[in-house]
A and B are shown apart, each in its own frame.
Chain A
Amino acid sequence: MTVPTDPPRGVSRRSFLKGSAIAGIATTGLTAAAAAPREAQSFGPGEHEISLSVNGTARKLTVETRTTLLDALRNRLDLTGAKQICDRGSCGGCTVLLDGQPVNSCLLLALDAVGHAVTTVESLGTGDTPHPLVQSFVACDALQCGYCTPGMVMSSLACLQQRGQPTREQMRRDLSGNLCRCGTYGRIFAAIERTAQGGGK
């Protein structure tokens, strides 16, 4: 079956869960998502053709109802930057931005991302024109094995976008959901600070 690109609304268990998931990740409110009126719709298992706004581009793909945003990105769109590490929202390795807010894409259904702007680590520039934060991560050698890095970068990006000049305490809070087994936390703080101070621009 096919669903419209706007997310369905109505009083169902699924939309309740969806609503609480969005509330859980949004601290400043997602006005864009609430702007358009939508009609109630429910749907069961099976495949759905959807369109996701990923890094500014509309991408059509087929997902199952249960497909997470992470699996949709990795398995359907070849965007393998976000990593599946703990699979239950404990490590932040799958962090992407949803309308500018960091979310664990392993805890979000792909269907729930319809109508929202998804930003992944792949958006941060390639080769010639890397994002300043990318340059700072490299300059500060803020990684070892690199597996937590995409998630760390996206959480750091959200921290910078929301706070401008974050303090160490704010960084600790904003990155508290991201784990690094190699122990590079101090360098990641340094990379955020360097970016905030205009480094890498």
Chain B
Amino acid sequence: MSASGHERASRHVTGDALYVHDLAVRDPATLHAWPVQSVHAHARVTAIDGGDALRMPGVRALLTARDVPGAKTIGPVRHDEPLFPDEVCYHGQPVAWVLADGESQARAAAARVRVAYEVLPAVLSIQAAIAADSFLTEPQAIVAGDPDAALGAASHRLAGELHVGGQEHFYLEMQCAWVHRDATGGFVVHSSTQHPAETQATVAHVLDVPAHRVVCESLRMGGAFGGKESQANLFAAIAALGCHVTGRPVVVRLDRRRDMTITGKRHPFFARYEVGFDGDGRLQALVVELCSDGGYSLDLSNAILGRALFHIDNCYRVPHLRVRGRVARTHLPSNTAMRGFGGPQAMVVVEEVVDRVARTLGLPPEVVRQRNFYRPGDRTHYGQQVRDAERIDRIWRELLATSDYASRRAAIDAWNTAHPHAKRGLAITPVKFGISFTTTALNQAGALVLVYRDGSVQVNHGGTEMGQGLHSKVLAIAVRTLGVAPQQVRMMPTRTDKVPNTSATAASSGSDLNGEAVRRACDELRGRLLPVAAAMLGCADDEVGITDGVVRGGGRELPFAEVVERAYQQRSPLFATGYYATPGIHFDAAAGRGEPFRYFAWGAAVAEVEVDGFTGAHRLRAVDILHDVGDSLAPAIDRGQIEGGFLQGMGWLTCEQVVFGADGALRSRGASTYKLPGVGECPPRFVVNMLSRATEPGAVFGSKAVGEPPLMLAIAVREALRDAVAAFGGGGPVALACPSVPETVFWAIQAVRRAPAATAAAADDQRPRSCR
């Protein structure tokens, strides 16, 4: 293992690291499940005829609602997702499931199940949902100051709207669950889930058994990105039901097309805004209305909208602000958590607003951004003090200097003058991201650490490993706290029979919560071992040091295992639990006030792009990032999260496009029709630095969460594209659709080319009197 790289990396590289499907295919008794999917976006199911399918070779069962002993609907917040719907609510929704000896047999049989439908009208866009008054939630709002009066008093006003696109998770490992019975009649659920406790609870509800009859294990995931926070539950429930009905192990493993058509994505948002500002670009009032597309069921949409409301300020102080939002209900797959959880969509909106303010005034966007930053002592629109507010200004200045921003700006302007058919753009954007689950109760975690008499250690905690390196970070915490060598510690698969009632590994909180719980358990064990060691070494407790498996004190040293054995002989317990609940956080949703976050993660990115004027095709030339991870627990892993989060955000904003047809069927349903960032999209220059002097006193060993915040650094690419598009015109604001795929960039270029010269004249004036 490298000093701070991924635990078990060598097993991955030799193919030895097993995922759920790899386990399932090794058991020949396993039955394979395949869904029968709806061919309408909205319809009543009037009949299901599985006669032909059941006569096909290898077919063992057709699962329908009649087979369910317990709850027939599931859902993480509201139980509004029927396992076997009478009324299908999106194109591709599973209606029934076929079980067969082989996957190809199940697949062939599923195609022979005849389903009769009575087609109903479908709502397929946010706009259509608004028109039809189709919503999943009541409105949420946060208000600071008197935005209406401040808008009226502002010397400058702008209004606009923006549609922000969704994003397919495209975790490379599709949704997968494998369920078998154990020797005592319990159900063992191997699930690719970020939330084993909820998967366990869902299976128990569906089978109508107590939770203690179900053990859920999440060994590792081949990526998740939020897509397996709630949406793994359906597939585990179907596998468990199949196991209950047939008595055989059952695996549900979707192929890419089924995964993409059945599961939800990042929420698209529609935003309307009005902003008031002064002649220097200082924001005075902002009113934003957000409407997200929740899809057919609630899932986590309300909390996702909530995080959007919290992040509409990004790094900017807006004294009078009202943000209001609501979740639309459409006949599309139920949209769900994805890295950033609503924060990115809101931040794209406010960056659009700030850029438009700057370009309207003819000011450099980076100047207007910096001018509006929070200052020490400021509070957010929900009343939380912005601790470390000076940090964004420090990051900004350092990054402008290290990226050589000013001279690159001048070089790009010169290059653009010389190239009429291609333009380069440059932008810098900031990130402030609140860390904690905004549902306060979720901010708790548990751990169970076992020390054996040979000095080896098992570490259990409630967090799941999806590639983010949580187990590596927790391993580092255990090693540091207990003083053992890394090879003495075994990170155990996440199981609900080791730590119960855990929260999802989500909200970037995995290492903050589980790491601190493990640290506390290890600290307790260390506290029990120190007096034993001190007696053995003939020194005082506080003179004992334990590092790398060696116990030192009084000028002597002992192997860790000898101290452990002595503690055993003295009848000292060699296991401990650890528990952590984030202190000091609270939020009153009705008042829209509170301190929902433990701290903020900060960062900024500079992006440089080149855009082709004939096609809108674009290329990312260079990226410079300065990001705040506190005192890094594992620098290689944190750097990987920054790089990977940035690329995923760049994909969302510049090449990935979720496309549904007029019939509500997903058109972008594979790697060939949904463009993911590949090697070709990696910028040739990609400089990532972590902020120095950034110790976070509120988290384990001074570290900070890093999973989500870097995704929003990629907004710099969108703003750089806008900057390049602007260079094709004469100045002034630039409308740019989101995502900014080549086609939309092309149309943006066409629009600025056609823009009246008056816009350019106004921009040259620097201070237009009126902007509306």
Contact = CB atoms under 8 A, between A and B. Distances in A.
Contacts of A81: 14-16
B644 A149 contact: no
Interface in A31-86: 64, 66, 74-75, 78-86
Given A80-B18, A181-B648, A185-B679, A87 B255 contact: yes
Nearest to B173: A147
A182 B469 CA distance: 12
B170 interface: yes
Given A88-B670, A90-B671, A141-B637, A183 B14 contact: no
B172 A172 contact: no
Interface stretch (B218-226, B318-326, B394-402, B515-523): B218-226
B545 interface: no
Contacts of A86: 256, 670-672
Contacts of B18: 80
B25 A143 contact: no
Given A88-B670, A184-B644, A146 B14 contact: no
A129 to B, nearest CB: 11
B494 to A, nearest CB: 15
Nearest to B469: A144
Contacts of A171: 679
B289 interface: no
A108 interface: no
Contact of B220 (A66, A134, A139, A146): A146
Contacts of A187: 640, 643
Interface residues of A, number: 56
Given A138-B10, A153-B13, A181-B225, 19 more contacts: A74-B25, A80-B22, A81-B15, A83-B222, A85-B172, A87-B255, A121-B15, A125-B14, A145-B221, A147-B172, A171-B679, A178-B679, A179-B676, A180-B172, A183-B645, A183-B648, A184-B640, A185-B647, A187-B643
Contacts of B16: 81, 122, 126
B15 A172 contact: no
Interface string A73-110: 01100111111111110110100000000000000000
Interface of A: 64, 66, 74-75, 78-88, 90-91, 93, 120-122, 124-126, 130, 133-135, 137-141, 143-150, 153, 171-172, 175-176, 178-187
A182 B223 contact: yes
A138 to B, nearest CB: 4
A175 B678 CA distance: 9
10 A-B pairs with least C-beta separation: A81-B15, A145-B467, A147-B222, A141-B5, A183-B644, A183-B647, A146-B12, A90-B671, A144-B467, A80-B22
A141 B2 contact: yes
9 contacts: A86-B256, A91-B671, A141-B637, A144-B6, A144-B223, A146-B17, A176-B679, A183-B644, A184-B643
A33 B10 CA distance: 33
A149 B670 contact: no
Contacts of B12: 137, 143, 146, 149-150
A146 B13 CA distance: 8
B14 A80 contact: no
Contacts of B170: 181
A84 B173 CA distance: 8
B682 interface: yes
Given A178-B679, A183-B647, A184-B644, A145 B672 contact: no
A143 B640 CA distance: 9
Interface in B619-663: 636-637, 640, 643-648
Contacts of B644: 144, 182-184
A148 B5 CA distance: 17
Contacts of A88: 256, 670-672
A172 B26 contact: no
Contacts of A144: 6, 223, 467-469, 640, 644
Given A141-B636, A181-B676, A148 B172 contact: yes
B492 interface: no
A179 B223 contact: no
B591 to A, nearest CB: 40
Given A145-B222, A145-B466, A90 B670 contact: yes
Given A86-B670, A137-B13, A175-B679, A146 B2 contact: no
A87 B256 contact: yes
A83 B646 contact: no
A185 B682 contact: yes
Interface centre among B13, B19, B174, B647 (most CB of A within 10 A): B13
Given A83-B172, A150-B15, A184-B643, A176 B222 contact: no
B128 interface: no
A66 B103 CA distance: 13
Contacts of A85: 172-174, 256, 671
A46 to B, nearest CB: 12
Contacts of B547: none
Interface in B1-43: 1-2, 4-6, 9-10, 12-19, 21-22, 25-26
B171 interface: yes
B679 A172 contact: yes
A141 B648 CA distance: 18
A113 to B, nearest CB: 18
Contacts of B5: 138-141
A71 B680 CA distance: 29
A187 to B, nearest CB: 7
A89 B741 CA distance: 23
B82 interface: no
B415 interface: no
A124 B12 CA distance: 11
Contacts of B648: 181, 183
Contact of B671 (A141, A143, A179): A179
A78 B26 contact: yes
A172 B25 CA distance: 34
Contacts of B246: none
Contacts of A172: 679-680
Nearest to B102: A75
